[in-house]
Structure 1
Amino acid sequence: MTTKFDVEDVLSKLNNVEKVSLLAGTDWWHTAAIPKYNVPSIRVSDGPNGVRGTRFFNGIKAACFPCGTALAATWDAKLLHRAGVLMGEEAKAKGAHVILGPTINMQRSPLGGRGFESFSEDPVLSGIGAAALVNGIQETGVQATIKHFVCNDQEHNRNGVNVMITERALREIYLLPFQLVVRDSKPALFMSAYNKINGTHVSENPRILQDILRGEWGWSGCIMSDWWGTYSTTGAINAGLDLEMPGSTKWRGPMLIQAVSTGKVPQHILDKRARNVLNTVNRAADANVPENAEEKTADTPETAALLREIAGDSIVLMKNEGSVLPFRKDKKTFIVGPNAKVATFHGGGSASLAAYYAVTPFDGISAQLESVPSYTVGAYAHKDLPLLDLVLKTDKGERGFSFRAYNEPPTAEHREPADEITLTKTELLMMDYQSPNLKNELWWADVEGYMTAEEDCEFEFGLGVYGTANLYVDGKLVIDNTTKQTRGTMFFSCGTVEERGVVSLKKGQTYQLKIEFKSSPTCKLDKGDNVLFGPGAIRLGGAKIIDADEEIARAAEMAREADQVIICAGLNSDWEGEGADREIFGLPLYMNKLISTLTPLNPNTVVVIQSGTPVALPFLPTTPALLQAWYGGNETGNAIADVIFGKTNPSAKSPLSFPKRIEDNPAFLSFRSERGRVIYGEDIYIGYRWYEARNLPVLFPFGHGLSYTTFTISDLNVERIDQKIKVSVAVKNTGEVSGAEVVQVYIQQQNPSIRRPKKELKGFEKVFLEAGEEKKVEVEIEVKYAAALWDEVREAWVVEKDVYDVLVGNTSELTGELKATFEVERTEWWNGL
């Protein structure tokens, strides 16, 4: 698809039925084509940390990038631009013209289910980072979609919650990252949020979509809904929503045609919406991707190298008492923890995909050691039992299991499979599964595989389902998830809880596992307000039952005997994912007890935490070294090993504040939807703005991050050049190894007319220095962005006549040593960009 068409010429020839057909998807991932006018269908694809392609179910493998908070932790716009270029190339391999990302909602609370997808608690860091990513994507001809516009900051009741927020907070915090992305990268598409703002759903909110986005900011792209985030016909289209997704349409089609014919939707509005979609389709030719292209993989050494670099540069060295890190490769090493032998490389929901590969921390670390490390799990951290991907084999002894779909129930005689597939992942998301041989919405499937016990043990199986299902082991019913069902958080909160059953296994014996599944019409759960995902879903997990105290005691003995200890802990996609917010702030199950027991036993101990947002760290006082490793994508394990052994000198800075207690978080009392509303009572005081305003100590401040070398920042100079300020400093690497430092520039007004945060990040720059090297670093900031606050009376940004302090450092917890000023000589108001 390389030929463009004349949008105005085509629009003039289309009748209203054809125009309306353009305004909704035809399926999950494609827009409508009009062949007689050479208007092709284009393909969209998730998402925020990789390009999945067109299938959740049995999808083509793809590159998985570090999650959003990890990308932000690099504080490196140049690196994120390179990441965006790679994302664009990955999209082309999947035949996609549009990427549904990046996500730049704000982290009001660490408990947000999709917090890991977004960048930061700070709008400037979010906006600058996302703009770099978008520029990289769109440099390839692929189009980026900024989402979720706006205030989609929680999963609880996300489709119905009314976000009650002041105009000042909306402008200064929640809209600002989107505004910066429009200013700096002009993304092709916006995706509207599910929620309401001050009483009106965003997808039918003309003030948000028209007055601000298209009016004030002058943006002229295409606005699509989130999936099933369109709630009306006339309201949404008159408000500015161009494209309803996914298809087939619920709100457009005949209803929209009638609305136009009766004048409820003016003709010129229909034409505008169709024009915006046509412009997006036309622009897709720049990607040089054929219509309905075959999906391919693009797993190259160059891709692996860049993913490893990004992941390594995202890992934050939070603590390094006595310079215990980096570790030596020739020492006796003990690796422990539930995240060690599992590749926890992405969060759940739209961010999930089938990766080319995923390196576990154990494998990454082992590959760099000179001898084999000792290992034990220590404690479990799963919410749902671990998937059995690496355990199951087919009846032919190959990795995987069989999936056979039928038009008839198991009681039917001589039934034949309508479809038969060999799969490898025991989480089956079938929202996009189709088989031409299945005749009705109601159908049956047998999922069958074999596992061989590694030891005598009591083994617990877990089965979650959307639809109904039972698990049989060697023909014996172990789990009944059919007779009675209880709603859980699986499958975007559409599915059941994980029902569990226990089987006694004998070492060396092979067992047949068989799931009898019936599709979604048999589901007994109340449909509620959840998005329903097609034919159904299955999740099968399992783990040996362990005695936690015995396992911790065993780990303690191994820790004493080792020269160095690596504890791999954290969360996973069960705890952090789309459809539900986190239930706990701390680490799950016995993790805290394990870490608190081990860290005092060996002075050469590092704790590696994998989570998308902060967790409680009660063991911090006895922990010599701590790494925050996020969800690092394909190269997770290699990147962690690179940092632990010094191949990568950590240079990341935390994009989030780490509170001591969840009760200290500004959204603690107002995070969940209550009677359909959530009040953003903290107003503009989100993240470090809140902790500083209340003088609340935190475990780690926003912008914190250590290195294996040392730096000095000196010679601050602030120069006013027309409508900008140029901030310059000298940065010197005073240590013995090369490394990188982040210069962070904060602004505070000396005499504001209304209350303001103590300071706010307004710019930053990352600089790489050899040992002993010194460089001058400059950061330019427009005065109107450096100094402005939102004036709710004038409905405009205002830059007040005053003196403003410029504070520079390498963390938000500044010493005050580097401080200069600039002056604004008269008060001015402004709108737009």
Structure 2
Amino acid sequence: MEKNIKFEQNTPLWDNSLSIEERLDYLTGAMTLEEKIHCLTTGCPDIPRLGIRATYMGGEAAHGIEARHDQAFNKGEPEPTTAFTQPIGMSASFDRELIRECGRAVGEEARALYTRNGGGGLCRWAPTIDMERDPRWGRTEESYGEDPYLTGEMAGAYIRGMRGEDPFYIRCGATLKHFYANNVEKDRIKISSSVDRRNKNEYYLKPFKKAIMEGSAEAVMTSYNEINGIPAIVNDEVRHILKGTYGLPGHVVCDGGDFSQTVSDHHFYRTHGETLANGLKAGVDCFTDDGEVVYAATREALDNGWITEKDIDESVRNSFRTRIRLGMFDKESDCPYQNMGEEYINNGEHKELARKMADEAVVLLKNENGILPLDEKAEKKIAVVGPLADVWYKDWYCGIPPYAVTVLDGIREAFTNAEISHESGLSEIQIRLTEQNSDECYVGLDQNSRLKLVKKEQAETFILNDWGCGNMTLTAKSNGRFVTLEEDTDIIKADKKEAFGWFVRESWNFKKEKNGFTLESWNKKQVFVDKAGYFSICVDNPSTQFEIEIVKDGKKAAEKTAEKADYVVAVIGCDPVINSKEEVDRTTLALPPEQEELVKEVAAANHNTIVVLISNYPYAIGELQKQVPAILLSASGSQELGHGIADVMTGKASAAGRVNMTWYHSDEDLPDMNDYDIIQGKRTYQYFDREVLYPFGYGMSYTTFSYEKMQIKKERGCIKVSCFIRNTGEKTGDEVVQLYVHKKDSRVKRPIKQLAGFERVHNIKPKEVRKVNFTVQLWELEYYDVISERMILEDGNYQFMVGASSQDIRLEQSIMIDGLHAGKRNPFQTTAADCYDAYDHMFLHRGINGSSCVIPGSAGDDPDMIGECPVEGTLIYHDFVFYKKPRKLNITLKVLETAHITVTGENGVQITAEPVDCYRMLEIDLPEDCIKTGVPETVQIRVEGKCKISKFVFA
């Protein structure tokens, strides 16, 4: 039918000689209001008279194009695409140019799929640049580490690769995720992140600034969470910071379903119309939600006068500005990226890039006595053991690769003269009822693979994989399929090819009971056996108890295999959808106990045990680190995973990856997940001041390097630093040279070290010397001054340090930089309560007219909940200078329960405030000798009782 429809191209929209704004002027004038409303989602409809074909903007591209087509909204046959290493692994390469090339490959495949299918997918929802302040965050695999400079640089390179080199046209647009402070999965669709001004400006916003202003990101996706009580979808920082300060050129979308959740989960508005109106005014252009809901909400907002057509026009302009720059209205064929075809999908060059990235993502964590690299030509016996040795796991945002190389595959291919043996280390079990009332008391499968009771000779043998934290998988040995709880039923079957899904229905837990075990499903429901002998989920029935019979002890089998080998490669780690994923945070840094025990037993049997850790996040592996001579780390996700491990294991590729997150010793090193304050909470390498397992930037090499002749000088707007590195070892290798900075004698607590530059220097031959140059922009050294309420460059002494990690500093020099002195506080001008210098037991939430208030309690607390015992908290403000004696302190606050407020100078004063249902000014009389004049004075406000403090001023 569409063949008979003419899509008009002789309009100003298609006129390349006009400026983009002139084309948009025509478009918004020519479209009807109805047509504009239908463009407020991520798609637009066919409008033939304007030459507009239905298109959408979206789709994932975290480490390759996701075209699985396995979700309800895009069901279909999967389209294989090149799969690179997870972003956390790509970032570990510290190689801007390589990640840019990977981004180019992603952009090329997006274009080729667009040529194949039409429709959209040219502005992808990637990269994720949320700051990874906590290694327990469920989505750690998706981002680039704990440092904002590294994240901005690496994500920016990926974006530039996606975008292409044309000054106007875009090959593939990047949509940054998620704006911002989005590091907790539990209750993420309604939780509020408490973020003060320093953390916001110095840490959480910094990668967005770099990715937009330097990386040329096209769009941004807002996050699910609230920020200080304001849902991200209606946070006006979208308009003022992203679009205003940073100059975002394209559009802003909300996260999937967040439009509806503003009413249903945040309970921020009563109607969707209010969300739409305020979302548009805040700067969100496209609402990623049900189109009919968005349409009805728009009509409601228009009918009530909350928005005008002009507000909708702005949104339409922003989304079509992106479409024009993507070449969707390019009549003259000026766009160099049009009609890119099948030759760009899964081609040889992309395959080579995937392998190169898999190589460079590998981090050598330990190499005692130079056990690595291994001679690939040697005639040795190599035992490859472990549950991750011969598997390849996909993650939620990956595509389907054209092939996948496991670690076992890579080792077999690399060591052609070796005798390779393999054991998974997983036990094989049979399950039977604890109480044997009949011959049919064992678990078997019927003809449809349903679990039912059978006689012993018909019992099924299951392969048990215990991932820890109450998550196990069971695979039926007879058919190789996972046991699953069938969706929307109570039927339990062994018929799934993989354990994968938004809900991992293949996850089970054997819970130890007094007389055996009960079996619990992924959704915490107990299993029972019905009258017909079939397994089901308990409703009103008591759970059934089972016993486990070991058919094959996996660890013993691995131990026997290890005893016969010259070397053992133990492959352990994570499954990207079990224990940690979107909507699931980790509860511990510990390795799965079964995996740790496996390594312990294998290493005891063979001291030449090399651990390969396939992980998308840090583990607390202190004990394991002591047990084995070598450890290699790689993130998952790459179709070339096994080749990458083998290339580094043999020395074919240089061992030069670096950890981009601090590896802590234990869970005790971390504060509460909801604590976003990295400064006072001492998070990340910037502020953590105790011993760690592996520091940020750490990674070993097969050779050694010396650092020499550091030079530093000031130039206009920047600092230039250089040094020489010399390969002092016997092998050619790469070195990741890292530049850190520390501000001495600052008014405020500054980072212990802060990454200011890095360079991966390739293929340095023995005795060869290379010069490394760094340019540090002065704005990178700024901090947020709570007195002037802006970012400032503080004058004084800056210590620059060059080294091989944040704790392996080889050279350092200091330099004086001209900047500003932080001023003094004027007590007779209003001070916002959230402009504190320090605090104890306080958090931020929604205040007056979009401002933030400060509330006694802990981050994550309900701002309106009153407990049995009054909460206490303290705010501290330094450097007030009183030129006259104050008589009063006026505090604007909302009191929820009777509160006792104490103000301290030299002599404190206390007042009791009774509950009120609105903000009001509380007047506190100050004694004559309360505060000194003429000298810097610290004011401390201590509160006992739930109240919301907005601002204060002395009089």
When normalised by structure 2's length, the TM-score is 0.68
Going from structure 1 to structure 2, the CA distance change for 1:257 and 1:453 (only over 3 Å counts) comes to closer
- Of 795, 801, 807, the match for 2:795: 801
- Of 401, 410, 433, the match for 1:364: 410
CA contact (8 A) 2:728 2:766 kept: yes
CA contact (8 A) 2:24 2:320 kept: yes
- Of 221, 232, 240, the match for 2:250: 221
For residues 30-429 of structure 1, the aligned pairs below 5 Å read: 30-43=43-56, 44-53=58-67, 55-56=69-70, 57=75, 58-95=77-114, 96-139=121-164, 141-206=171-236, 208-230=237-259, 231=262, 232-250=275-293, 252-285=294-327, 298-329=345-376, 330=378, 331-344=380-393, 346-347=394-395, 349=396, 351-369=397-415, 370-379=417-426
Amino acid at match of 1:324: I
Q: Secondary structure at the match of 1:120?
A: coil
| Aligned counterpart, 2:634 | 629
Q: CA deviation at 1:576?
A: 2.9
Q: CA RMSD in A?
A: 3.3
| Aligned counterpart, 2:673 | 671
| Aligned counterpart, 1:386 | none
| Aligned counterpart, 1:436 | none
Identity %, equivalent residues: 27
Going from structure 1 to structure 2, the CA distance change for 1:380 and 1:664 (only over 3 Å counts) comes to farther
Going from structure 1 to structure 2, the CA distance change for 1:625 and 1:711 (only over 3 Å counts) comes to same
CA contact (8 A) 1:39 1:281 kept: no
Gaps of 5+ in 1: 382-394, 396-400, 403-449, 480-488, 502-522, 526-544, 673-677
Amino acid at match of 1:601: A
Q: Distance in 1 between matches of 2:211 and 2:481?
A: 48
CA contact (8 A) 1:80 1:129 kept: yes
Deviations, residues 746-788 of structure 1 (Å, cap 9, x unaligned): 1111110111121111111111112322111101011221x21
Residue 825 (1) aligns with residue 797 (2): no
Going from structure 1 to structure 2, the CA distance change for 1:218 and 1:465 (only over 3 Å counts) comes to same
Q: Distance in 1 between matches of 2:645 and 2:290?
A: 41
CA contact (8 A) 1:104 1:178 kept: yes
Q: CA deviation at 1:170?
A: 1.1
Going from structure 1 to structure 2, the CA distance change for 1:595 and 1:215 (only over 3 Å counts) comes to same
CA contact (8 A) 1:315 1:629 kept: yes
Gaps of 5+ in 2: 1-6, 16-22, 115-120, 165-169, 263-274, 329-334, 429-446, 450-474, 512-536, 540-547, 824-955
Deviations, residues 257-310 of structure 1 (Å, cap 9, x unaligned): 33124320133322111110111121221777779x999982222211110000
- Of 548, 553, 566, the match for 1:550: 553
CA contact (8 A) 1:307 1:635 kept: yes
Deviations, residues 554-577 of structure 1 (Å, cap 9, x unaligned): 322322221111000001122332
| Aligned counterpart, 2:602 | 598
| Aligned counterpart, 1:585 | 589
| Aligned counterpart, 2:617 | 613
| Aligned counterpart, 2:847 | none
Deviations, residues 94-139 of structure 1 (Å, cap 9, x unaligned): 2231121011111122211111100010000000000000000000
Q: Could you tell which deviates more after superposition, 229-238 or 759-768?
A: 229-238
CA contact (8 A) 1:311 1:632 kept: no
Q: Distance in 2 between matches of 1:42 and 1:726?
A: 46
Q: Secondary structure at the match of 2:353?
A: helix
Q: Distance in 1 between matches of 2:181 and 2:342?
A: 34
Q: Distance in 2 between matches of 1:36 and 1:467?
A: 45
Q: Secondary structure at the match of 2:111?
A: helix
CA contact (8 A) 1:380 1:589 kept: no
Q: Distance in 1 between matches of 2:700 and 2:312?
A: 55
| Aligned counterpart, 1:707 | 701
Q: Secondary structure at the match of 2:814?
A: strand
Question: Quick check: which has more Rg, 1 or 2?
Answer: 2
Q: Could you tell which deviates more after superposition, 679-688 or 217-226?
A: 679-688
CA contact (8 A) 1:121 1:686 kept: no
CA contact (8 A) 1:595 1:619 kept: yes
Residue 569 (1) aligns with residue 566 (2): no
Going from structure 1 to structure 2, the CA distance change for 1:31 and 1:466 (only over 3 Å counts) comes to farther
Q: Secondary structure at the match of 2:706?
A: strand
Deviations, residues 226-252 of structure 1 (Å, cap 9, x unaligned): 1112232222122111001144342x2
Q: Secondary structure at the match of 1:80?
A: helix
Q: Distance in 1 between matches of 2:46 and 2:751?
A: 50
Q: CA deviation at 1:460?
A: 8.7
Amino acid at match of 2:656: S
Q: CA deviation at 1:176?
A: 0.6
Q: Distance in 2 between matches of 1:63 and 1:490?
A: 20
Amino acid at match of 2:364: L
Q: CA deviation at 1:141?
A: 1.3
Q: Distance in 1 between matches of 2:299 and 2:408?
A: 59
For residues 511-522 of structure 1, the aligned pairs below 5 Å read: none
Going from structure 1 to structure 2, the CA distance change for 1:357 and 1:828 (only over 3 Å counts) comes to farther
Q: CA deviation at 1:353?
A: 2.4
Q: Distance in 1 between matches of 2:92 and 2:246?
A: 28
Amino acid at match of 1:235: N
Q: Secondary structure at the match of 2:607?
A: coil
Q: Secondary structure at the match of 1:278?
A: helix
Amino acid at match of 1:638: H
Q: Distance in 1 between matches of 2:599 and 2:69?
A: 39
Going from structure 1 to structure 2, the CA distance change for 1:819 and 1:772 (only over 3 Å counts) comes to same
CA contact (8 A) 1:802 1:823 kept: yes
